[in-house]
Chains A and B, each alone.
Chain A
Amino acid sequence: MGKTMAEKIISEHVGKEVKAGEIVVAGVDVAFVQDGTGPLMVEQFHKMGFDSVKPKIAILFIDHAAPSPRKELSNAHNVLRGFAQQKNIKLVEIGEGISHQIVAEKYAKPGDLIVGADSHTCTAGALGAFATGMGSTDLALAFGTGKVWLKVPETIRVEVTGNLPDGVCAKDLIIKIIGDIGADGATYKALEFVGDTIENLSMESRLTLSNMAVEAGAKAGLIPTDEKTRAFLREHNREEDYREIAPDHDAIYERIIKIDASSMEPVVSKPHTVDNVAPVSAVEGTRIDQVVIGTCTNGRMEDLRIAANILKKHGKASGVRLIIVPASQKILLDAIHEGLMDIFVQCGATILPPGCGPCVGVHGGVPGDGEKVLSTQNRNFKGRMGNPKAEIYLCSPATAAASAAKGVITDPRKLL
């Protein structure tokens, strides 16, 4: 019987053939935590009496509160630095980038089983890895035993065909999918994104899709590998990590969703849930106080280029605060070399260091009471950015830049 990508990858890591519904213990290739979940992982690792760190690749990221805005967080960071030193494992320091971007650039291999104490660990699914978010104690178990327990998920196949119209991005596509199936539409399940639209997407856009799989409740968001996956790995000097991984043609799916990309238009998620989706045209003209472009969802070169093209032509409206947060140090450098940062700074944007910044409500752009924020991040829950009295709209980098140019929510197709 045919297998989905999730069934194939988990079978390889259990050492026997498994199928959806089975509860299994599987080996882990990459395990990581970040500064919000890492200190509790360290505490639980010690509490359970573990000594050595088992996975081949185990990483501690300081990306959520980086650089630290408070002494309590500085001390939490030092817990991670101490653990890294004691166990001789990799620590990614402030400013180096967001875990999910660094994992995509340097560590995730097609066919890997990856666990991270961060819900957006599913991002690496774009590289054909089974990557899923868990809590600190699960990660302590992964660090201490090299294994995790899983229920092999059923898979929803999302078939997307047709060309995305100009001004419509991968971000619009994933927001639409979440709006269609709901914030719990894929709970306990994996998503598989296939079809000619997906094949035509860049790796950067594919990372945006997989990043938000969890916003439909999914355990993972997988994309079959192809020449674009290989080229991405080559670009990051690790082409040897490439392998082909795809579902069998007779794999069994929980259901199949078909989407015609050519009929799509730019969309937003309105406050306060990601599945509260509307076309940009329905909220056009809404006054905004702050625009954020970047994060692990849309902080890659492709996103920054889209935004810079619009802002170069149209500038930034006065009265709107514009924050740019690249996903990694490599992206920051590339954007500097390409002149994108010149464009952003000259139009009055603030550049934050690579990291989670304003998206997690810790620092770097907390909105005021009653303010409206438009952001390319992945979540708009009440209080998400640090103030429950603010409203957050989610959108593509094109819509964010067009709206920053006009000071109100704006359909980017008008400014192309």
Chain B
Amino acid sequence: MLKGRVWKFGDNISTDHIAPGRYFHLRSNLPELAKHVLEDAREDFPELVQKGDIIVAGKNFGLGSSREHAPRIIKLAGISCVVAKSFARIFFRNSINVGLPLVELQETDEIDEGDILEIDLRRGTLFNITKGRGYSFEPLPSFVLEILELGGIDEYMKKYGDYRF
């Protein structure tokens, strides 16, 4: 079960918002790159984000580049889950591979900044504690949930040595 405070973002948050190209030279230094996570969408975000916080966004979150650094620095900044109406394909894969949980939920407009959410990835439920409102979503396939629970596909491969699906 995940529980955290909400940061709200809009539609089409790109990998250039998340990991700007001008910090290209920091890609081999992820803790430094994480100090700039999403700063082009919200300047104060990297400074104020707390461990366990949850990002809630509109549609097509993570569009753009294949840079896996994007979900890695979101995770490194302490974000426990990203909830959005939809995700760009490569970002979605990369997030699973690095162990960053994602939830696809159409009703993100009903969630406000600062709300406290409780999310059960296996059951597919999201409860907005602040508003007293609950939602359900299609849980991810079980092999994907296992990758997330192990902390990433690298840990999965170390455990199994090959794809097991």
Q: Is the CB of A383 within 8 A of B27?
A: no
Collect the chain B residues with CB atoms within 8 Å of residue A25's CB: 163, 165
B21 touches which of A44, A70, A385 (Cβ 8 Å)? A385
Q: Is the CB of A76 within 8 A of B90?
A: no
Q: Is the CB of B89 within 8 A of A36?
A: no
Q: Is the CB of B157 within 8 A of A141?
A: yes
Collect the chain A residues with CB atoms within 8 Å of residue B94's CB: 134-135, 137-138
Q: Is the CB of A36 within 8 A of B24?
A: yes
Complex Cα gap A137–B60 (Å): 22
**Could you tell me which residues of chain B, from 64 to 105, have a CB within 8 Å of some CB in chain A?**
64-69, 86-90, 93-94, 97-98
A383 touches which of B22, B63, B152 (Cβ 8 Å)? B22
B68 touches which of A40, A187, A361 (Cβ 8 Å)? A40
Using known A-B contacts A23-B141, A36-B27, determine if residue A366 contacts B22 with beta carbons closer than 8 Å. Answer: yes
Q: Is the CB of B97 within 8 A of A137?
A: yes
Q: Contact string, A121-157, partner B, CB cutoff 8 A, digits 1/0?
A: 1000000000001111110110001010100000000
Q: Is the CB of B21 within 8 A of A217?
A: no
Using known A-B contacts A135-B97, A138-B97, A383-B20, determine if residue A40 contacts B27 with beta carbons closer than 8 Å. Answer: yes
In the complex, whether A273 has a CB less than 8 A from a CB of chain B is yes
Instruction: Look across to chain B and name the residue whose beta carbon is closest to the beta carbon of A25.
Output: B163
Q: Is the CB of B66 within 8 A of A135?
A: yes
Collect the chain B residues with CB atoms within 8 Å of residue A36's CB: 24, 27, 67
**Could you tell me which residues of chain A, from 74 to 104, have a CB within 8 Å of some CB in chain B?**
75-76, 79
Among the interface residues A75, A149, A184, which one has the most CB atoms of the partner chain B within 10 A? A184
Q: Is the CB of A273 within 8 A of B12?
A: yes
Instruction: Look across to chain B and name the residue whose beta carbon is closest to the beta carbon of A68.
Output: B25
Q: Is the CB of A72 within 8 A of B90?
A: no
Instruction: Look across to chain B and name the residue whose beta carbon is closest to the beta carbon of A389.
Output: B40
B16 touches which of A23, A187, A362, A383 (Cβ 8 Å)? A383
Q: Is the CB of A40 within 8 A of B69?
A: yes
Using known A-B contacts A133-B66, A273-B12, A381-B14, determine if residue A138 contacts B93 with beta carbons closer than 8 Å. Answer: yes
Complex Cα gap A219–B165 (Å): 21
Using known A-B contacts A135-B97, A386-B22, determine if residue A149 contacts B66 with beta carbons closer than 8 Å. Answer: no
In the complex, whether A39 has a CB less than 8 A from a CB of chain B is yes
In the complex, whether A15 has a CB less than 8 A from a CB of chain B is no
Instruction: Look across to chain B and name the residue whose beta carbon is closest to the beta carbon of A76.
Output: B28
Q: Is the CB of A64 within 8 A of B24?
A: yes
Using known A-B contacts A36-B27, A361-B21, determine if residue A118 contacts B59 with beta carbons closer than 8 Å. Answer: no
In the complex, whether A314 has a CB less than 8 A from a CB of chain B is no
The smallest C-beta distance from A360 to any residue of chain B, in angstroms, reads: 5
Q: Contact string, B99-128, partner A, CB cutoff 8 A, digits 1/0?
A: 000000000000000000000000000000
In the complex, whether A319 has a CB less than 8 A from a CB of chain B is no
Q: Is the CB of A119 within 8 A of B90?
A: yes
Collect the chain B residues with CB atoms within 8 Å of residue A138's CB: 93-94, 97, 153
Using known A-B contacts A75-B28, A361-B22, determine if residue A187 contacts B60 with beta carbons closer than 8 Å. Answer: yes
Collect the chain B residues with CB atoms within 8 Å of residue A23's CB: 141, 165
Complex Cα gap A117–B20 (Å): 17
Collect the chain B residues with CB atoms within 8 Å of residue A76's CB: 27-28
Q: Is the CB of B28 within 8 A of A37?
A: no
In the complex, whether B129 has a CB less than 8 A from a CB of chain A is no
- Give chain A's interface residues, CB within 8 Å of chain B: 23, 25, 36-37, 39-40, 44, 47-49, 64-65, 70, 72-73, 75-76, 79, 116-119, 121, 133-138, 140-141, 145, 147, 149, 183-184, 187-188, 214, 217, 219, 273, 360-362, 366, 379, 381-388
12 new A-B contacts at CB < 8 Å, known A65-B24, A141-B153: A65-B25, A75-B28, A116-B66, A121-B66, A136-B68, A138-B97, A183-B12, A217-B88, A219-B89, A361-B20, A386-B20, A388-B40
- Give chain B's interface residues, CB within 8 Å of chain A: 12, 14, 16-17, 20-22, 24-29, 40, 59-60, 63-69, 86-90, 93-94, 97-98, 141, 152-154, 157-158, 162-163, 165
25 A–B contacts, CB within 8 A, in A order: A37-B67, A39-B27, A39-B28, A40-B68, A48-B154, A75-B28, A119-B90, A134-B90, A134-B94, A135-B66, A135-B67, A135-B68, A135-B93, A137-B68, A137-B98, A137-B152, A184-B60, A187-B87, A214-B90, A217-B89, A360-B24, A361-B22, A362-B25, A381-B17, A383-B22
7 nearest A-B pairs in the assembled complex, by CB-CB distance: A361-B21, A135-B68, A135-B94, A184-B60, A72-B25, A381-B16, A381-B14
